[in-house]
Amino acid sequence: MKRRSFIKKATLSSLTVLVGTEIVFGEMIPSGYTPLALQDPDPFKLFQKNKEMILLNDRPWNLEAQAHLLDEKITSNEFMFIRNNGKVPENIDVKNWTVTIDGESVKQSKTYTLEELKSKFKHHTYQLTIECGGNGRAEFDPPAKGNQWTVGAVSCATWTGVRLKDILDDVGIKSNAVYIGYHAADAHLSGDAKKEPISRGVPMAKAMQEETLLAFQMNGKDIPLVHGYPVRLVSGGWPASTSGKWIQRISVRNKEHDGEKMTGSSYRVPCEPVAPGEKVKDEDMCIIESMPVKSLITYPKSGAVIDSGKKLSIRGHAWAGELEVTKMEYSIDYGSTWQAAKIEAPANRLAWQHFSASVSFPKKGYYEVWARATDAQGTSQPMLLPGWNPKGYLNNACHRIAVKVS
């Protein structure tokens, strides 16, 4: 009789995280067997997401919120978008998890256990805005390839961790350092262990910012598995693809990082404006860095109906990458005139800001309420779709909701 092979402790730990509770008799699960709860998984149960989230892709997992689901000042896991490039890691062994700092521009490579990172370096907590570079892609015409995000691939959670700069200072960085690149535990969709699904990074100036973290908590708890447990790089205000999940290694480069999805047209836009549909050479594309000024009306939900003579209270969030939003306005006449809305200061740099206003309507009928943010450099959101680009990035057109006064 063949000896039965049972599941490894590391795998059982990962399955327990996915199921969300203790798997009784889990140590007796045969090796290679997937519990029924995870077979043909319901992503909303699997990742503890609200049922109103929109599933865009299951290979890899990509889900977005709707505008009204993002009404919280601090985004909870239930409403946080998922943007993955590979398979979520299945064999997370937290006790033996390490992060290595290496590359051409370190004086000496170092490897830290997760416990060493937590105990050796001071902890910092920030609210940080993370937005997919392709948020709003669905509006581009001609259509751009990729997940057809509408407005919900953005979040602002509270992240706790250690500053990347403190770790880099501890390792020792050479004067020729230009960029950092991350390397993670997610598997390539092809199953090829030699391929990385994504390996992006940021220039040293961004890596050394106080708010750039190797985070191990989200909203005061362990980061959910799908969002990068046990440790995630968080670089707020830049495309979410620079905030790598499941971090195992950071490479300090003496050149612009050339990892997967750093080259070609990935997360790049034409350096100069182009006509819709025009082909652009790779060498004429520039890497996306700070995200553009943008805003979102989160209350009420589009399609609201109010009684004639009553005012409508609206609220939402605004953000501007590395910059602060200094002015917030709304319009009920399709941008012909604009009225001031109240805009709050950010909780900290790179956090989104909350706005509110009380809107009056002159008579019964159909209206649209448009929101427009302006950043500290005086740049405002375009009323409609901004310049077309081949991959459908950086759509920061004014968000709008429909209202009926009856």
pLDDT tens sequence across 178-197: 999 999 999 999 989 899 99
Q: Are residues 275 and 354 in the same domain?
A: no
CA distance 22 to 32: 19
Average pLDDT across the chain, whole number = 94
Q: Is residue 201 domain-resident?
A: yes
pLDDT for 3 equals 47
Q: Is residue 267 domain-resident?
A: yes
Question: Of 256, 287, 318, which one is at a domain's C-terminal end?
Answer: 287
Q: Is residue 355 domain-resident?
A: yes
pLDDT for 90 equals 87
Check pLDDT > 70 for residue 362: yes
pLDDT for 25 equals 86
Q: Are residues 235 and 276 in the same domain?
A: yes
Q: Is residue 49 domain-resident?
A: no
Check pLDDT > 60 for residue 1: no
Check pLDDT > 50 for residue 320: yes
Q: Is residue 19 domain-resident?
A: no
Q: Rounded mean pLDDT of 231-242? A: 98
pLDDT for 37 equals 67
Q: Are residues 138 and 246 in the same domain?
A: yes
Residue-wise pLDDT for 80-126, tens only, equals 999 999 999 988 999 999 999 999 999 999 999 999 999 999 999 99
Check pLDDT > 60 for residue 242: yes
Q: Are residues 270 and 163 in the same domain?
A: yes
Specify the number of domains making up the chain.
Answer: 2
CA distance 349 to 210: 10
Q: Are strands 98-102 and 247-253 parallel, antiparallel or unpaired?
A: parallel
| Structural domain span for residue 354 | 294-405
Residue-wise pLDDT for 141-189, tens only, equals 999 989 999 999 999 999 999 999 999 999 999 999 999 999 999 999 9
Q: Rounded mean pLDDT of 312-323? A: 98
Question: Of 269, 287, 305, which one is at a domain's C-terminal end?
Answer: 287
pLDDT for 340 equals 98
Q: Are strands 399-405 and 365-375 parallel, antiparallel or unpaired?
A: antiparallel
Give me the percent of the chain exceeding a pLDDT of 70: 96
pLDDT for 38 equals 67
Check pLDDT > 80 for residue 288: yes
pLDDT for 308 equals 95
CA distance 46 to 63: 12
Residue-wise pLDDT for 260-272, tens only, equals 999 999 999 999 9
pLDDT for 40 equals 58
Check pLDDT > 80 for residue 11: no
∠ CA 70-371-369, nearest 5°, is 95
Q: Are residues 122 and 150 in the same domain?
A: yes
Give me the percent of the chain exceeding a pLDDT of 90: 86
CA distance 76 to 70: 9
CA distance 267 to 311: 42
Q: Are residues 283 and 300 in the same domain?
A: no
Residue-wise pLDDT for 19-63, tens only, equals 778 888 888 888 777 777 666 578 898 999 999 999 999 889 999
Q: Rounded mean pLDDT of 336-359? A: 98
pLDDT for 15 equals 77
Q: Rounded mean pLDDT of 123-150? A: 96
Question: Of 287, 310, 338, which one is at a domain's C-terminal end?
Answer: 287
Q: Is residue 39 domain-resident?
A: no
CA distance 233 to 66: 25
Contacts of 50 (CB under 8 A, 6+ apart): 44, 65, 69, 78, 79
Q: Are residues 169 and 272 in the same domain?
A: yes
pTM of the predicted model, to two decimals?
Answer: 0.90
For residue 17, name the pLDDT band (cuts at 50, 70, 90).
Answer: confident
Domain of residue 191, CATH code: 3.90.420.10
Q: Are residues 98 and 244 in the same domain?
A: yes
Would residue 176 be called left, alpha or beta, if left means φ above 0 and alpha means ψ between -120 and 50 degrees?
alpha
pLDDT for 4 equals 52
Q: Are residues 236 and 180 in the same domain?
A: yes
Q: Are residues 399 and 358 in the same domain?
A: yes
Domain of residue 300, CATH code: 2.60.40.650
pLDDT for 160 equals 98
Q: Are residues 273 and 339 in the same domain?
A: no
Q: Is residue 87 domain-resident?
A: no
Q: Are residues 247 and 300 in the same domain?
A: no
Q: Is residue 23 domain-resident?
A: no
CA distance 334 to 355: 19
